[in-house]
Chains A and B, each alone.
Chain A
Amino acid sequence: GNSVTQMEGPVTLSEEAFLTINCTYTATGYPSLFWYVQYPGEGLQLLLKATKADDKGSNKGFEATYRKETTSFHLEKGSVQVSDSAVYFCALIPPGITGGGNKLTFGTGTQLKVEL
C-alpha cells in the first residue's frame, strides 16, 4: 500500500537557520506529493506540491523537489523565522484518477520550533 515516512520531531532551530525535513514515500507509479502545514490551533494548509518527477514545489521560501530515484520529497528553507513554527505534514495522492477522488495519505508530521 501507499505510505509516507517523515523524520521525527520536534526539530528545534534558531532563527535564520537552514531547515530540512526529510520525507520518503512508498507508492506505485508517480504519485502527487504535498507538504501541508498546521499552525498552532489551526487546520491544515497546503504549503506546496509537485505532481511529477523532478518538479520543484515552492512557496513562502520553502522548497521541495520530487525525486523519483530516491522516492523522496524533502522540505527545505534557507532561513527560518519564528513564525514558521508549526507541524509539517508530508502527504501523497496515488497516481491516476479514481472514483474515490484521490484520498491523501499523510506522514506522522514533524513539529518545528524556531527560537530567537
Chain B
Amino acid sequence: EPEVTQTPSHQVTQMGQEVILRCVPISNHLYFYWYRQILGQKVEFLVSFYNNEISEKSEIFDDQFSVERPDGSNFTLKIRSTKLEDSAMYFCASMAGVWSNEQFFGPGTRLTVL
C-alpha cells in the first residue's frame, strides 16, 4: 500500500541553524501539506502546496519557513534559522485531489532545537 515517508525521524539542531525536513508524498497525489504538533498540543496546519506553489499558509508559516518540491517526488520544509519554539513533530501529508478529501500522513519528524 502506498504511503507517505519522512526523513529524518528525529533531528536535533542548535538554535539559529537551518534545517530541512524531507517528505516523499504518495505518487500521483497533487496536494501536499505540512502540519506541526508541539508536544502535548493540537496538530496545526502550516502550509499547503499545489501546482508548484503555495496555496495557503498559516500565521505560523513566516519568512523563516519555506517549502519546495525540487524534483517531482520530494517535498521539503526548510526552517532558515531555528528557534527553541520550533521544537515539535512535523507531519507531511498528501492528497490525491480535492474530490477525495482524504489526506494521508507520514510518520513525522521530531525536531528538537537546543
A107 in contact with B42 (CB, 8 Å) = yes
Tell yes or no: A27 within 8 A of B by CB. Answer: no
Chain B contact residues: over half helix, strand or loop, or mixed? Answer: strand
Chain A contact residues: over half helix, strand or loop, or mixed? Answer: loop
How many contacts A-B (CB < 8 Å)?
A: 66
Report the count of interface residues on A (CB-CB < 8 A).
25
Smallest beta-carbon distance B30→chain A, Å: 8
Residues on B facing A (Cβ under 8 Å): 30-31, 33, 35, 41-45, 48, 50, 55-56, 91, 93, 95, 98, 101-108
Additional A-B contacts beyond A91-B43, A101-B30, A109-B43 (15; CB < 8 A): A36-B105, A44-B93, A45-B105, A89-B42, A100-B48, A100-B50, A101-B56, A102-B95, A103-B33, A104-B43, A104-B93, A105-B45, A106-B43, A106-B44, A108-B42
A93 in contact with B101 (CB, 8 Å) = yes
Nearest residue in A to B43 (C-beta to C-beta)? Answer: A106
Complex-state Cα separation, A66 to B44, whole angstroms: 23
Greatest chain B CB density within 10 A among A89, A97, A100, A108 is at A100
Chain A residues near B56: list those with CB within 8 A: 98-101, 103
Chain A 47-69 against B: per-residue CB contact (8 Å), 1 yes, 0 no?
00101000000000000000000
Tell yes or no: A46 within 8 A of B by CB. Answer: yes
